[in-house]
């Protein structure tokens, strides 16, 4: 695996030197300053590449070229946004970049209720608390029709939770959910959020799949032509929320994706933390089945809680994910590709990390502080090396 590190650009409190010291050789980044949906020009791409080269690093994977909401809803200017996306892919390829991550989650990107959940050892983790989320949906957002999606028991728990909240807690929970976590290209106020949700009226799972198929049929041929591997990031959490469909959550979804556009350029970001939240996702099996389409890997582990819809981010080698099993499958695939003449290892990054040690006293991007990711990367590299020595002598 190629060891990479996500960097949010010049404003990231974690520097490129930090990334190198952590052991990364490649950088995962995006042009976050370009408005969502506009074309990434070769000048802008080259300027970012030059910044990285100055530090002895290179741009390994784009995460993400964001998919504009208009493409997902097929409203307004969506065809222009698809044309822009095609052009951004051409420009990236012209600059030598060959791997592009994206996601197709309606309205919200990844979602957590708690960005600093205290662990017994004093470190802090990201958490999704299903009861807090229900309190937001039922009592803060007051989404019409939401009642029907919760059992009487869940509604009672959410009401109790809400009744105990202070105004600050309400403000924090709301911000955590709708303001946009790092990498999400959109953030909303409550009013904007409501308006954006209503853009999905009448868009169910089947419709969203149609819209994604339209998008893929337009961009995969371009990716093929210019030599870019597309890698869709799964939904996080991997199930419908707020009445919005989610279509990249399960093995069945992965199968649908591969059947809809069969090209290998239509591939996956295998994010173990996102897929791993569902007990019915067998990650080793999924990695095996779609190994030849895995173009980018996010490694982290989540831990399901007593409430099966709640989870928090565990340390990278603990939690519900069979990390050793997944890495072994990836190394098998790499061996296969090597034997077939592939020049490149599969890029992997430690996805998220606990806020710990000195980082507890620093301003950090939730999930993307330095030390927790450094620890994760170190552990994952250890697993990789041990597996290589035992099973992959060539």
Q: What CA–CA distance (Å, rounded) separates 331 from 169?
A: 45
110 binds ligand DNO per the rule CB under 6 A? yes
Q: What CA–CA distance (Å, rounded) separates 360 from 367?
A: 12
12 binds ligand DNO per the rule CB under 6 A? no
Q: What is the DSSP letter of 361?
A: G
101 binds ligand DNO per the rule CB under 6 A? yes
Residue 109 interacting partner from Mn ion, ligand DNO, none (CB closer than 5 to 8 Å by kind)? ligand DNO
Least distance in Å: CB of 138 to ligand DNO?
25
Q: Give the residue with the Cβ less far from Mn ion, 253 or 351.
A: 351
Cβ partners under 8 Å of residue 244, min gap 6: 106, 107, 108, 197, 200
Candidates 63, 69, 129, 334; binder of ligand DNO (CB under 6 A) is 63
- Interface mask (CB under 6 A) for ligand DNO, residues 79-98, using x and -? --------------------
Q: What CA–CA distance (Å, rounded) separates 136 from 132?
A: 6
Candidates 3, 48, 112, 233; binder of ligand DNO (CB under 6 A) is 233
Residue 381 φ/ψ, nearest 5 degrees:
-65, -35
The residue annotated as part of the active site, out of 161, 271, 275, 359, is 271
- In what helix (H) or strand (E) does residue 384 lie, and over which residues does it extend? helix 370-391
Preceding peptide of 260 cis, ω within 30°: no
Of 212, 213, 215, 231, the residue nearest 97 (C-alpha): 231
Of 276, 278, 281, the residue nearest 298 (C-alpha): 276
168-187: contacts with ligand DNO (CB under 6 A): 183
Q: What CA–CA distance (Å, rounded) separates 69 from 242?
A: 16
Candidates 112, 298, 316, 349; binder of Mn ion (CB under 5 A) is 298
Q: How far is CA 152 from the centre of its chain?
A: 32
Sole window of 70-78, 101-109, 224-232, 328-336 interacting with ligand DNO (rule: CB under 6 A): 101-109
274 binds ligand DNO per the rule CB under 6 A? yes
Least distance in Å: CB of 361 to ligand DNO?
23
Active site residue 68: no
Q: Which two tokens stand for residue 333?
A: 């695939």
Q: Which residues bind Mn ion (CB under 5 A)?
A: 271, 298, 351
Q: Which residues bind ligand DNO (CB under 6 A)?
A: 63-64, 101, 103, 109-110, 183, 233, 236, 271, 273-274, 298, 351
Active centre residues (catalytic): 233, 271, 298, 351-352, 368
């Amino acid at each position: 695996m190629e060891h990479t590190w996500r960097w949010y650009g010049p404003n990231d409190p974690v520097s490129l030197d930090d990334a190198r010291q952590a052991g990364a050789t490649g950088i995962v980044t995006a042009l976050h300053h370009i408005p969502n949906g506009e074309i990434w020009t070769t000048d802008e791409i080259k300027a970012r590449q030059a910044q990285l080269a100055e530090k002895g690093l290179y741009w390994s994977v784009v995460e993400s070229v964001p998919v504009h909401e208009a493409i997902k809803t097929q409203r307004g200017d969506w065809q222009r946004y698809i044309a822009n996306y095609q052009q951004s892919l051409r420009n990236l390829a012209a600059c030598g970049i060959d791997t592009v991550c994206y996601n197709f989650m309606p309205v919200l990107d990844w979602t957590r209720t708690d960005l600093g959940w205290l662990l017994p050892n004093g470190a802090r983790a990201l958490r999704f608390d299903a009861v807090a989320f229900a309190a937001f949906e039922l009592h803060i957002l007051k989404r019409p029709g939401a009642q029907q999606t919760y059992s009487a028991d869940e509604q009672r728990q959410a009401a109790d939770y809400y009744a105990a909240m202070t105004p600050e807690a309400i403000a924090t929970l709301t911000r955590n959910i709708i303001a946009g976590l790092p990498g999400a290209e959109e953030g909303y106020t409550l009013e904007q959020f409501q308006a954006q949700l209503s853009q999905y009226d009448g868009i169910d799972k089947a419709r969203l799949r149609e819209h994604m198929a339209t998008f893929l049929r337009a961009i995969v041929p371009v990716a093929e032509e210019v030599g870019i591997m597309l890698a869709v990031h799964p939904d996080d959490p991997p199930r419908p929320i707020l009445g919005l469909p989610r279509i990249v959550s399960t093995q069945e979804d992965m199968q649908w994706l591969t059947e809809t556009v069969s090209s290998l350029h239509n591939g996956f970001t295998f994010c173990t933390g996102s897929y791993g939240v569902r007990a019915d996702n067998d990650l080793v099996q999924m990695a095996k089945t779609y190994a030849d389409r895995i173009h980018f890997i996010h490694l982290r582990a989540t831990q399901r809680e007593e409430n099966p819809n709640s989870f928090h981010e565990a340390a990278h080698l603990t939690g519900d994910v069979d990390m050793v099993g997944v890495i072994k499958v990836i190394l098998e695939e790499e061996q296969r590709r090597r034997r077939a003449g592939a020049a490149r290892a599969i890029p992997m990054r430690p996805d998220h990390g606990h806020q710990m040690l000195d980082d507890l006293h620093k301003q950090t991007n939730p999930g993307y502080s330095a030390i927790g990711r450094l620890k994760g990367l170190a552990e994952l590299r250890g697993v990789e090396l041990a597996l290589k020595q035992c099973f992959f002598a060539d």
